[in-house]
Amino acid sequence: MLPHRSTSEDWPALSYKDWEPTCTTLHLWTQIVGKARLAQTPWINHSWHATFYLTARGLTTSTIAHGPRTFQVDFDFIADTLRIATSDGGVASLALAPASIADFHARFRAALAELGLEIAMHDRPSEMPKAVPFAEDRAPRPYDADAVRRFWRALLHTERVLVRFRSGFLGKVSPVHLFWGGLDLAVTRFPGRRAPRHPGGVPHLPDAVNVEAYSHEVSSAGFWPGGSGAEDAAFYSYAYPEPEGFRTATVRPAGALYEAKLGLFLLPYASVRSAPDPEATLLEFLQSTYEAAANLAGWNRAELDCPFGEPGVPRQV
């Protein structure tokens, strides 16, 4: 039984078609901020150095080194503010409001410069169909703050289930983190075996990034707001390399389906939100799709799996 379970009333309504323009705005803003972190942080396996983390108010880059100083950038979705703070007391803020991408990019770069943070960043989006340079994307962009807060609250509820799911694995496992390339919250398990070379081919992303990201076998799961081939907000789970029989495996709950074009299982967010116990429903999806991947790929689950962790209870060894 999950501790401190949320109810279906706690999970916000989230329809991608209703907030798609704002979602695109937020996605591009996270890419701009994410590229500042990417430019300053040593490469960590599978691009874990570039991700964001959830906070009680939004998203954070976590700490970033800049010479002898440290800074971090936080999206505050309660105050509709982007805040940059430095270890020597400097603070700069930007309002999160309707504006062009070029305007946000210019204000962000100006705020960094105000704090003495000169950073040579990549100047255009990654993993998106269009890669207009940020400074040239002058079309007006909407920002529906209420929709963003609903998305963030959905991320918070998802995170608590992903953290619990993460605790049931003794092998190498990623943090629960948000990739700004796809705007997805994810956690990934590894059995420790090398994988075939990834073919690459992701729009506006160097193949070397995917080759490194998928250097080893994985079972990965997470949450998308929609887009990227998913019509609406959904939870996903996939394996690389995909073992034979994975796409026809029986997984739970009943609403989970394999999407051949994307190469993964999807479970609609609406199905989880409407379930009597959303957290248990999502955990069932995560666990059953992992079991399908691990069993079909021949992972040594006797050495890798363990009971889910409990607060205040040391792991039995």
Q: For residue range 198-211, what is the model confidence (pLDDT) as tens digits?
A: 999 999 999 999 99
**What's the rounded Cα separation, in Å, for the pair 79 and 288?**
39
- For residue 2, the model assigns a pLDDT of 47
pTM exceeding the 0.85 threshold for the entire prediction: yes
CB 73 within 8 A of CB 33: yes
> Is 140's pLDDT higher than 90?
yes
Query: Where would I find the H helices in 62-206?
Result: 101-114, 145-166
Mean per-residue pLDDT, 265-283: 97
> Is 248's pLDDT higher than 60?
yes
- For residue 4, the model assigns a pLDDT of 60
Mean per-residue pLDDT, 249-257: 97
Residue 265 or residue 227, greater confidence: 265
Matching residue, tokens 């700490």: 63
**What's the rounded Cα separation, in Å, for the pair 234 and 152?**
14
With cut-offs at 50, 70 and 90, classify the pLDDT of residue 5. Answer: confident
CA 132 to chain centre: 22
> Is 1's pLDDT higher than 80?
no
